[in-house]
Amino acid sequence: MGEWARPAVRLHPVPGSPGVTDSHIGGPLLWPADEPWPWCDGSKHDEGLTILPADSFGVPVALVSAVQLYRRDFPELPFPDGTDLLQVLLCPLEHSDEESDHFGPCVQLFWRSSAITDVLSGAPEPAVFEPQYRTRPCVLHPCRIVEYPMGDEQPVGAGDWPPVANGSKLGGWAFWWQTSPFGLECPSCGADRRLLLALYTHEEPEKELCSCEVAERAVVGWEFGREGALNVFACTQDVQHPIKLHID
Ligand SMILES: [Zn+2]
Ligand SMILES: [Zn+2]
Ligand SMILES: [Zn+2]
């Protein structure tokens, strides 16, 4: 069983008022004032729960802050040389990408150095968005656990292994609920892509894994799929290779 163990960090978000120099979910990003804010070009927008295709297809939208993580708080993240800050942004609309079989918000990762002198004072607001992809700002109370695979990723005869964390986390194993794992080979180099980050609709206590208190299930306010998780897989050779997204 030991060879299947992977470290994971449960993020345990709690509503708060994080600043640009904090790790957080949904708070303001430490963004260089002289770097253009990222936008989605809208070419893969699809009908959402509240937004019609006419309002979204081909419409460029400013991305929104989803997660910001500093190396001092999360040294286990695979920061490329010269970087100490990971920023995760979402396009807050539905996308339909048949090629990668992903249906949900698109995601962009930025690995950067936090040595920024001139910080952007306010991010642009998206003109249209799905309400379920807007978050309330949360601070993080991380804890470290070990996870083992579930379902189809377990070796034959694995027996009764502990569950994977049902809540937002870094690393560990994904919970493939609707399908078997697919598309994890990196298109750039052929290496394996592994779970980097999972963002969950609901935060569950999961007493088998840690004894942290979880005050509120829908703490962040976002919803992925039907009360599912947005899993982000990154290349094990180079995290700047294309990521894979999977909502389950
Ligand atoms: Zn978009
Ligand atoms: Zn790769
Ligand atoms: Zn915990």
According to the model, what pLDDT value does residue 15 have?
96
- Residue 170's pLDDT band, with cuts at 50, 70 and 90, is very high
Ligand nearest to the CA of 214: 3
- Residue 36's pLDDT band, with cuts at 50, 70 and 90, is very high
Distance CA 122, CA 191 (A): 38
Distance CA 192, CA 30 (A): 30
Ligand nearest to the CA of 241: 2
Q: Tell me how far the alpha carbon of residue 34 lies from the centroid of ligand 1, in angstroms.
A: 23
- Residue 5's pLDDT band, with cuts at 50, 70 and 90, is very high
Ligand nearest to the CA of 91: 1
Q: Tell me how far the alpha carbon of residue 224 lies from the centroid of ligand 1, in angstroms.
A: 15
Ligand nearest to the CA of 95: 1
**Range of 44-48, 86-90, 125-129, 173-177 with top mean pLDDT:** 86-90
The 10s digit of each residue's pLDDT in 82-103 is 999 999 999 999 999 988 889 9
Q: Tell me how far the alpha carbon of residue 57 lies from the centroid of ligand 2, in angstroms.
A: 30
According to the model, what pLDDT value does residue 74 have?
98
Q: What is the mean pLDDT of residues 118-137?
A: 94
Q: Tell me how far the alpha carbon of residue 242 lies from the centroid of ligand 1, in angstroms.
A: 17
Is the Cβ–Cβ distance between 244 and 184 less than 8 Å? yes
Q: What is the mean pLDDT of residues 63-89?
A: 98
| Ion ligand 3: residues, Cβ under 5 Å | 10, 143, 210, 212
Kindly tell me if the per-residue pLDDT of 142 is higher than 80: yes
According to the model, what pLDDT value does residue 172 have?
98
- Residues 6 or more apart whose Cβ sits within 8 Å of residue 76: 7, 9, 170, 171
Q: Tell me how far the alpha carbon of residue 104 lies from the centroid of ligand 2, in angstroms.
A: 23
Q: Tell me how far the alpha carbon of residue 43 lies from the centroid of ligand 1, in angstroms.
A: 7
